[in-house]
Chain A
Amino acid sequence: MADAKVIPFDDDRSRAGSATRPSRRRGAGGGRRKGESAVVREVQPLPGRARPQDDVRVTREQQPSQQPQPTQESQDHSGLPGDQSSSAGGGVVGGLERRVAGGLSFLRRRLTGDYEVDEFGYDAELTDQVLMSLVRPLYEKYFRVEVKGIENIPSEGGALIVANHSGTLPLDGLMMQVGVHDNHPEGRHLRLLAADLVFMLPVVNELARKAGHTLACAEDAERLLERGELVGVMPEGFKGIGKPFSERYKLQRFGRGGFVSTALRQGAPIIPCSIVGAEEIYPMIGNAKTLARVLGFPYFPITPTFPWLGPLGALPLPTKWTIQFGEPIRTDGYPPEAAEDPMLMFNLTDQVREQIQHTLYKLLVQRRSVFF
């Protein structure tokens, strides 16, 4: 069954998908479209990372050999500035010494409060060196996230990434954040817009703010785009994340399309993003609505394992994820009053939604198995 689907898809890819994916494949023979993509290749000394774009089947066979490389990179990321140079040039002792010294100066800054946060409470240092490193094992080892089309994210300036939302718990947002940061040549940080529930829960709200998330409202989104940040939004909201397993990969209504008018007002490009794999981490077969209402949550998931096995049931299934960033939809060509035009807004919302849904189906056809 899988073969029957894969073969037509390959045909399809050579026609339509050529815009996003094979820019790397052709890159070896020259024929680059952008100057940036050349930089991409120079900065990332990981042939194993570029290769998975070539052919799906080759990737699977090379999976084991590919694993160690991201791990090493993650240590470099989680480590402190100066690590790369030291490990390359100096001896082992010098590198370790510098690392210890860096760790101590980090500790000293944290203990004395001598670090900066922005007006949203984003703590760049903590996010880079602690929070990201905590999520990264989940990203690399557990869900084995594969990121495609990272070249669609501009290297500077504001952009709005619009993604589908799924998985009962918003792990997809976190994975997207790590994915963008680790794969983008500039190491850009994604600023996610989160539901108000996130900011009502203790601990969660503190971590969310420090990781650079903020409330999903037009004011915050515009302010972030104005500052030239990369903003991530999941317009399906609770409708998407809390939908039953039977409706997986069916995009829900995209709110009221507020994200489009925000992007229009700032002239920021909209980058559609499709995430495959998050739907199956917690297959939600039921929803305890009464309990949810009592607890004040929008839904209370019942999965084949969750309330029954206790905390063990809250372990997500180790699915294989793919995050695909699509071609940016430019919004800077519209006149300023376009943000007030409801017809244009609906059209653009539909365009973004269609593109995400289409990519989702393509990625699903391409996928061999949920877990591999």
Chain B
Amino acid sequence: MGKVVLVTGVARQLGGRFVRRIQRDPQVDRVIAVDAVPPEHHLGGADFIQADIRQPTIARVLAETNADTVVHMDVTGIALGSGSRTTVKETNVIGTMQLLGACQKSPTVKRLVVKSSTNVYGSAPRDPAVFTETTTPKSLPSGGFAKDAVEVEGYVRGFARRRPDVAVCVLRFANILGPTADSPLAQYFGLPVLPTVFGYDPRLQFVHEDDVIEVLRIASHDPARGTLNSGTFNIAGDGVLLLSQCSRRLGRPTVPLLLPAVTWAGSLVRTLGMTDFSPEQIRLLTHGRVVATNQMRETLGFQPKFTTAETFTDFARVRGPGLLPPEALVGAVDRIAALPFAPFPGGGRTPATTTVTPTTAT
């Protein structure tokens, strides 16, 4: 008997990719893709059912399809297309409530996977430098997507209490980047000049899209030997990048602004609807956030293929160089090195480059 997997939020790139990926798994019989709007990308032959998870129809979909695994990916920070923040919040919170209500009624559901975010930790100067799954943040996020995620996780915990027979897995993803990512941070890195908060250099962690798909797949199947895939897990690539490093690697100049100015500019930009530069986003870009991934490695048994730095390199490769490409800067440094310095024997261009190369190698 094969599995029937129901996936929500498939109109987004990530959801679409996951549907296409999980369909190739031999133990999966049928994939039901659900979203309120039809996706623009193909779903690889999955059954698409247009249903709004904010409506009770989702219960009927679940009952008719006899799904045994539900992958809830419709918890997102930004609207698809031209949705407003209210719609996003309703989809996140009310949608999760409806979906969980439907799951509770369904006798067939055996496994629930929820895509959450490390946003639930907020970011504040008084928090420890590294969050583990059990860390309680000093100040809970007051609004925006982070609050949605906190509420969603609360409902999921309640569901897990009421249905102990269902394996529930909550995956808290760090900032998702990759060639097709449409997260708020990806939008931010797309700006020609990056506004930063003066006097702060936040630590950031990224997780690659490919790793997101893979870990969702691991979580939606039965656990491999020696691992456990129910519970809450932080998912992030190894290592940390500072925002200043990111901007340099991306080749985009930064404009440090004072914190009040950034807040004001953020609200202005948001009002104009150019990009979602939300308060929590500003907090992330002020204080940064790093999570521990020991549980992911040891309990879930997942090793991400991309480190934080490799994820960012992959992202930067697709985005193309900014105004100050790193190669140009290296060239400029080399030109300075090639200036006829008096101490160099022979003075010219060649000795400088030959002396430089071994030091880079060491």
A binds B: yes
What bracket does the count of chain A residues touching chain B fall in?
35 or more
* Chain A hits for B197, CB < 8 A: 202
Q: Closest A-chain residue to B256, C-beta based?
A: A202
Besides A119-B240, A219-B129, 16 more A-B contacts (Cβ < 8 Å) are A97-B355, A101-B352, A101-B359, A104-B333, A107-B333, A112-B249, A112-B329, A113-B246, A113-B248, A121-B129, A121-B240, A199-B126, A205-B200, A206-B200, A215-B126, A215-B127
Alpha-carbon separation in the docked complex, A81 to B336 (Å): 21
Alpha-carbon separation in the docked complex, A96 to B201 (Å): 34
8 Å CB contact of B199 from A113, A206, A214: A206
A–B complex contacts, Cβ < 8 Å, 26 sampled: A80-B359, A93-B345, A97-B343, A97-B344, A98-B355, A100-B355, A101-B352, A101-B356, A104-B333, A112-B326, A113-B241, A113-B247, A113-B326, A116-B239, A117-B240, A117-B245, A118-B240, A119-B130, A119-B203, A120-B129, A121-B288, A200-B125, A202-B200, A219-B129, A223-B130, A223-B292
B248 touches A111 (CB 8 A): yes
Known pairs A111-B248, A116-B239, A219-B135; A214 contacts B326 (CB<8 A): no
- Output the residue of A115, A117, A210 with the most chain B CB within 10 A: A117
B201 touches A210 (CB 8 A): yes
Secondary structure at the A interface, as helix, strand, loop or mixed, is: helix
Interface string of B338-362 (1 = CB under 8 A from A): 0001011100000110011001101
Q: Does B337 contact A (CB under 8 A)?
A: yes
Secondary structure at the B interface, as helix, strand, loop or mixed, is: mixed
Q: Does B272 contact A (CB under 8 A)?
A: no
Alpha-carbon separation in the docked complex, A215 to B131 (Å): 13
**Chain B interfacial residues counted at CB < 8 A:** 47
Alpha-carbon separation in the docked complex, A123 to B198 (Å): 19
* Chain A hits for B326, CB < 8 A: 111-114
Within A68-83, the residues touching B (CB, 8 Å) are 80-82
Q: Chain A residues in contact with chain B, CB under 8 A?
A: 80-82, 93, 96-98, 100-102, 104-105, 107-108, 110-121, 123, 196, 199-206, 209-210, 214-215, 217, 219-220, 223
User: Distance (Å) between the CB of B324 and the closest chain A CB?
Assistant: 9
User: Distance (Å) between the CB of B136 and the closest chain A CB?
Assistant: 11
A196 touches B125 (CB 8 A): yes
Known pairs A104-B356, A202-B200, A220-B129; A93 contacts B343 (CB<8 A): yes
8 Å CB contact of B359 from A82, A110, A220: A82
Q: Closest B-chain residue to A219, C-beta based?
A: B128
B290 touches A105 (CB 8 A): no
* Chain B hits for A214, CB < 8 A: 129
Q: Closest A-chain residue to B131, C-beta based?
A: A219
Q: Closest A-chain residue to B138, C-beta based?
A: A196
B359 touches A102 (CB 8 A): yes
Known pairs A98-B359, A117-B242; A209 contacts B337 (CB<8 A): no
Q: Closest A-chain residue to B324, C-beta based?
A: A111
Q: Does B1 contact A (CB under 8 A)?
A: no
User: Distance (Å) between the CB of A99 and the closest chain B CB?
Assistant: 10
- Output the residue of A101, A202, A204, A206 with the most chain B CB within 10 A: A101
A199 touches B125 (CB 8 A): yes
User: Distance (Å) between the CB of A87 and the closest chain B CB?
Assistant: 14
* Chain B hits for A111, CB < 8 A: 248, 326, 329-330, 333
Q: Does B66 contact A (CB under 8 A)?
A: no
Alpha-carbon separation in the docked complex, A201 to B336 (Å): 36
